Structures are given as structure tokens and as C-alpha cells.
Amino acid sequence: MPLLVVGSVALDCVETTTDQRDDILGGSAVYFSYAARFFSPVRMIGAVGEDWPREHTRLLEDRGIDTSGLQTIPGGKTFRWRGRYLPNMNDRETLEVHLNVLEQFRPQLNNTHRDCRFLFLGNASPVVQLDVLNQAKGAVLTVADTMDLWINIQRDELGQLLQRIDGLVLNDSEAKLLADDENLVRAGQAVLKMGPKFVVVKKGEHGAMFFSEHEMYVLPAYPTARVVDPTGAGDSFAGGMMGHLAALGRFDPQALKEALAYGVVTASYTVEDFSLDRLTAIDRADLDRRLAEYRQMLMF
């Protein structure tokens, strides 16, 4: 079942303690799409500038991702992010952000987009996310990401969004900030009370927690010795999760849990190299093999 994602398309500069890459392919919509495409057809909406290398679009199209919603803004420049990871490879500092074309971008859905039953709203202003939600008439499962910036400066608008979506995906520090509670279990439960039917709290190298009215659980990250670049781990987690749900065409508790596990496994590959380099080197069978190992790991 086709899946629609609206999010950022970026050129990232990533610094780690041992390595550095400039102007590499990134952005929430990119990581999400590429991860989700292992499971289900994906349609992507985003904006880039005239500096955008065409081969990046081709990489996505070669994977069968529908990029007809990827708009090139005349005279514009692509969104850029520069970050540096601390030696623990879990925490990072943002060194530069240039919104560029994202500053003015208001996503427009065409008929094919509006038909999609599964929708993921990548991190953006809740005003923009609400606008997309209003256009996505066919969506039966809507999941959004957010970030500390919007919690701090557009809390009311975020509150409105939370009343309208089915699921929210956010980081542990963001959940604590939004709920004003340092205990992650209570924080997740508090965010759930703000409206969504379920909340997924991403804990980076420590996995993810799930909250719904009747369920609460935590799944660890798949342990990998090879953490090269964690950028995009959260978005490919969401991509694996939503991709699996769209493939199943349902989102009951059992489907959601398995989807979270696929998200964990997909993200575990993403971090093993820069940009999409690791994800382009694997296929669906690799994901299924690692999922089986992961399932076994949690059985006692």
C-alpha cells in the first residue's frame, strides 16, 4: 500500500572523531523513503534548490521511490545541515543550519499523494504539518515527527497537531521536554494524553519505547560494533516502521510492535556507514535476517 512522506531533503556535512564528509545526501524524507522502500511503495514530497545534484534523485528513483513531489525551487539553495558527533557517537552538536528553500516551502499534494492511506509527516513546523494533514484526505494512518524547536516556540500549534494525528515519533530528550518530566515512562504517558493514539520515543543507541492506551513496552537497539554515522537513524527507523505497516495494510498492536522491530533493524544498518551508503548495499533479505537474529536475541 503506498506510503506518503513529507519532509526535508538535505545536503549534510558530518564530522565524527575519525572522519568527515561534506555535502552528502541526507534529510528526513530521504532517509525515511529509502528505508521504507524495502517494504512498500513510497511517494515523497520535498523541496531542493538549483544546487541539487541530479544523481541523488536518480538514486531514489532507481529504488522505485516516486519523486514527482520533489520540487526544485528556482534560484533556491538546498537545505544544509552540519553536525559533529561526540566520541560516544550518540550525542551530537549542530554546527550550522541553513534552511534555504525550506524557509518558504509549503508542500502541495497532488491527487496521487492525497490517495495515500499511510502518511508520515517528517519533522517540520506543526503549522506546515497541519496544512499537509488537511490536504491528505485519504490518509487512514498519520504519524508525525517533531523536534525541540517546535516544542519551545510553537507548543500550541503542536498541541493542535497532536489532537489530529494517530502517532507521534520523537526523541527521548524531546519527550521529556514536551512532558516536563525526566522519567521517560511518565513522559511518554503524558505525551499520549495530549492526543495521539500512540507515541514512539526514540532512545538512540538504547532503542525505542512504545506507548498506547493499553500497552507500554521498550525494545533495545540492535547492537552493532560498527557505528560510523548515526545521522538519519531516527528517520530510517520511522521508515522501516511505517514501511512495514503500509505493506501489511494494518496497524493493530501486533503489527505496530513488529513494525517497531523492523524500524530498529533498519536503523541499525543506517548507522554502519555515512549517508545512505550502507542501506544501498543491503537488500530486504538482510533486514529479515537481522530481524530474525533480533527476535532470537530477545527470547529467553
Instruction: Give me the residues that bind a second copy (CB under 8 A), please.
Output: 87-89, 182-186, 189, 203, 205-207, 209, 216-221, 223-225, 227, 254, 257-258, 260-261, 295, 297-300
Torsion of CA 252, 185, 195, 220, to 10 degrees: -40
Cβ at position 209, least distance to a second copy in Å: 7
Cβ at position 187, least distance to a second copy in Å: 9
Determine the distance from the C-alpha atom of residue 73 to the mean position of all C-alpha atoms in its chain, rounded to a whole number.
Answer: 23
Note the maximum CA span of the chain: 58
74 vs 87, beta carbon nearer a second copy: 87
108 vs 254, beta carbon nearer a second copy: 254
140 vs 218, beta carbon nearer a second copy: 218
* Cβ atoms within 10 Å of 187's Cβ, excluding its own: 25
- 150 Cβ contact list (under 8 Å, min separation 6): 123, 125, 126, 157, 158
- 231 Cβ contact list (under 8 Å, min separation 6): 12, 14, 26, 83, 274, 275
86 vs 99, beta carbon nearer a second copy: 86
Cβ at position 201, least distance to a second copy in Å: 10
Grid cell 512532558 in the structure block, residue: 179
285 vs 300, beta carbon nearer a second copy: 300
- 112 Cβ contact list (under 8 Å, min separation 6): 43, 66, 68
95 vs 297, beta carbon nearer a second copy: 297
Cβ at position 260, least distance to a second copy in Å: 8
Cβ at position 210, least distance to a second copy in Å: 10
| 3-class secondary-structure state, position 135 | helix
Question: How many residues make up the chain in this entry?
Answer: 300
Provide the 8-state DSSP code for 51: T
* Cβ atoms within 10 Å of 89's Cβ, excluding its own: 16
Closest among 282, 228, 235, 239 to 14, alpha carbons compared: 228
Closest among 71, 70, 11 to 43, alpha carbons compared: 70
225 vs 285, beta carbon nearer a second copy: 225
Cβ at position 261, least distance to a second copy in Å: 5
84 vs 206, beta carbon nearer a second copy: 206
Cβ at position 124, least distance to a second copy in Å: 29
Cβ at position 115, least distance to a second copy in Å: 30
